[in-house]
Structure 1
Amino acid sequence: MTTGEESEGVGTGLDGQGWDATRAWVEKGLSEGERIERAVRLRGGWTSEMRRLDVRGPEGPRSLVLRSFVKPFFVRHAEGLLSREAAVLALLGDTDVPAATLVAVDATARYCDHPSLLMSLLPGTVRLDDEGADDRAVLLARQLLRVHRVPVTAETRPRPYQAWTSPERVGPPGDTRRPELWRRAVDVIRREPPDHRACFLHRDYHPGNVLFSGDGPGLGISGVVDWVETSWGPADLDVAHCSTTLALLHGVPAGMRFADRYAAAGGTLAEDPGAHLYWRLLDALAFAPDAEKVAVAWRELGRTNLTAGVLTRRLEEYLQALFDRYA
């Protein structure tokens, strides 16, 4: 979820065009006298449609966030994704992780037009500019450690992590001049996953899913969103995903520094460099061949310089940097 906005007005967005049932479901759960005044489309995501719902009633105004899956692939998987997010939001309510409060969920679209989840609105904004990226990365590392330390029981432990690529699915860029680099990277993830100590993972932790507020000395993280992929697995995997994203957003050095920042915050990663390399490459190769999927969302939020060519080059340079350090 992001905070890029596109106002849809009270008469659109949740009226007509397949949203009547969803609007009725939301309004049924509101307090007496409350009504939806406006729906505001939140831009920057690609797995689901996100809307801020401005509500007014006897107790004054408030805002909620509605997540709805409308793309066929995600509709098919919505029951698991939204049920998982609902359970995680309930779990995080008693922790120091700034997550939204669950309001309601209809994971199978029994009442809504599309599988949907309704939650509170968190303060802050997504910040993807290069300016201030180093300061934000330090906070990202500290917050990720708090995520990994979320206590769970046998009943609340999330599902085991799932890999997002495999050797057979990796496609190197068609115009690469370093095919041997890609073959070498793929060969690393052909091995069995290294032994690891598992912990609570966000699993999609990156700057696009973290909200910031304040500036300078007052800069802070005000929210962590998008908990549909929450899993149980090695801390290295969450660090890997954030590292890859930082490399694509801000350049390879930014991605290479994040693991050090996580360790400096008190986090523990695999002692064996080869094991850590496995997790880093398992994540990075899931972006191949060109990372265009994430580029679309980032360009919507103003990073128009992140063309497919730029991201492809950064991804390839990042693979080489990983080998230079950990192989």
Structure 2
Amino acid sequence: MNKKLIHQWLEKVLGKDIHIKEMTQMKGGISSPIYRIKTSDDQEVVLRQFTNKEWLGNCPDLALHEAKSLECAAKTGVPSPKIIAFDEKGFETEHPTVLMSVLEGEVILDPDNRKEWLRGLAQTLATIHTVDVNMPWNYYTYNRSFETGDLSWSSVPDQWLKAIQIVKNDRPHTEIGFIHRDYHPANVLWKNNEVSGVVDWVNACIGPRGVDVGHCRLNLAQLHGVDTADAFLDEYLLLTKDHFSYHPYWEILSLIECLPGPPEVYRGWTELNKSDLTNQLLIERLDQYLLSLLNRFVE
């Protein structure tokens, strides 16, 4: 980070005669560094810089994308950061940069009351899915080639091949709308046992709502096992029974994005003090989750 450039830019967008009083890198910013900044006039803001050259090569408009996604997120009623300013190409800040408001709360990965935690996750996602917005970014799967690599790490490699064949077939008809695209427990903040906000909207787009459900379920299956992922689905379906048609295809598609394996413990989880996971445990849980999804699938 070029602090001199950041200082000059903050003066421009927040007002003259301020300087950075405190700057702390926040946990969980794996794909891009995120800083909480306190200025000399006691404003607190969050600054995100996109420094990953490979990611920017594939998605050169990341700062613009997140800024517009935050504008859309504000319409959901779910607490989310408010966009303050962005430097789309990084001409003023060295890297593409987004400046946003602070959300209070903490990430909870091991809740004291798992049922209430899952209900909060499901209710928040269901609320996000009710908003009607227009934006130019549309869903696409990250694993476009569906190449498996070596599946010898799995105890059921033939079942992974079956799943890959499923996602290569025609997609089922489904509801399309505004989705977070990276909705999972590490992007949800809690305060006083209630959801206080959702962060990391850079991948938000128009797409199948089942993708959000599938991505969250994938993370829950890894963090806590299939039963927890199933319990989340039950909560979500109860809340959306009048306007959501469930199909396991989207969950299988989300799962396939783990490939090529073998799976490894996500560094963001360990930075958030999730210490009971191992690579082998993830492999076992993903195999179990795969089998549960195939059991749900009816051609």
Partner of 2:152: 174
Contact 2:34/2:49 (<8 A) preserved: yes
Contact 2:76/2:128 (<8 A) preserved: no
SS in 1 for 2:234: helix
Q: Which of 198-207 and 86-95 deviates more?
A: 86-95
- Aligned mates of 2:194, 2:119 — CA distance in 1: 10
Partner of 2:294: 323
Deviation at 1:19, TM superposition (A): 3.7
- Aligned mates of 1:132, 1:62 — CA distance in 2: 35
Tell me the alpha carbon deviations over residues 268-321 of structure 1, each in whole angstroms, 9 at most, x when there is no partner: 4335xxxx12111100111232332x6211011111221222112111110011
- Aligned mates of 1:184, 1:303 — CA distance in 2: 32
- Aligned mates of 2:267, 2:279 — CA distance in 1: 9
Partner of 2:97: 116
Partner of 1:41: 25
Tell me the alpha carbon deviations over residues 46-100 of structure 1, each in whole angstroms, 9 at most, x when there is no partner: 210001001231xxx2311011111211233454222111112223334412111
Deviation at 1:191, TM superposition (A): 0.3
Q: What amino acid is aligned across from residue 223 of structure 1 in structure 2?
A: G
Contact 1:39/1:52 (<8 A) preserved: yes
- The partner residue of 1:221 within 188, 191, 195 is 195
- The partner residue of 2:182 within 189, 204, 208 is 204
Identity of aligned residues (%): 32
Evaluate the alpha carbon distance shift between residue 172 and residue 223 of structure 1 in structure 2; reply closer, same or farther with a 3 A threshold. farther
Structure 1: state its 5+ residue gaps: 1-13
- Aligned mates of 1:97, 1:115 — CA distance in 2: 26
The answer on 1:148 being equivalent to 2:123 is no
Alignment of 1:16-31 (within 5 A): 18-31=2-15
- The partner residue of 1:245 within 208, 219, 224 is 219
- Aligned mates of 1:317, 1:297 — CA distance in 2: 23
Deviation at 1:234, TM superposition (A): 1.5
SS in 2 for 1:43: coil
The answer on 1:76 being equivalent to 2:57 is yes
- Aligned mates of 2:98, 2:81 — CA distance in 1: 11
The answer on 1:235 being equivalent to 2:213 is no
Contact 2:106/2:190 (<8 A) preserved: yes
Partner of 2:271: 300
Q: How many residues align?
A: 296
- The partner residue of 1:290 within 251, 258, 262 is 262
Evaluate the alpha carbon distance shift between residue 206 and residue 71 of structure 1 in structure 2; reply closer, same or farther with a 3 A threshold. same
Partner of 1:10: none
Evaluate the alpha carbon distance shift between residue 234 and residue 117 of structure 1 in structure 2; reply closer, same or farther with a 3 A threshold. same
Evaluate the alpha carbon distance shift between residue 259 and residue 171 of structure 1 in structure 2; reply closer, same or farther with a 3 A threshold. farther
User: Which 4+ runs in 1 deviate beyond 6 A?
Assistant: none
Deviation at 1:172, TM superposition (A): 5.5
Partner of 1:8: none
Deviation at 1:206, TM superposition (A): 0.7
- The partner residue of 2:229 within 229, 242, 255 is 255
Q: Which of 130-139 and 192-201 deviates more?
A: 130-139
Partner of 1:193: 171
- Aligned mates of 1:237, 1:172 — CA distance in 2: 25
Evaluate the alpha carbon distance shift between residue 238 and residue 129 of structure 1 in structure 2; reply closer, same or farther with a 3 A threshold. same
- Aligned mates of 1:30, 1:114 — CA distance in 2: 19
Partner of 2:244: 269
Contact 2:50/2:63 (<8 A) preserved: no
Tell me the alpha carbon deviations over residues 178-225 of structure 1, each in whole angstroms, 9 at most, x when there is no partner: 1211111111111022122211111111111111111xxxx2111111
- Aligned mates of 1:281, 1:135 — CA distance in 2: 26
- Aligned mates of 1:114, 1:157 — CA distance in 2: 24
Q: What amino acid is aligned across from residue 187 of structure 1 in structure 2?
A: Q
Partner of 1:165: 143
Contact 2:181/2:211 (<8 A) preserved: yes
Deviation at 1:132, TM superposition (A): 2.9
Q: What amino acid is aligned across from residue 238 of structure 1 in structure 2?
A: D
Deviation at 1:236, TM superposition (A): 1.0
Q: Which of 116-125 and 75-84 deviates more?
A: 75-84
SS in 1 for 2:220: helix
Q: What amino acid is aligned across from residue 207 of structure 2 in structure 1?
A: G
SS in 1 for 2:40: strand
SS in 1 for 2:248: helix
Partner of 1:9: none
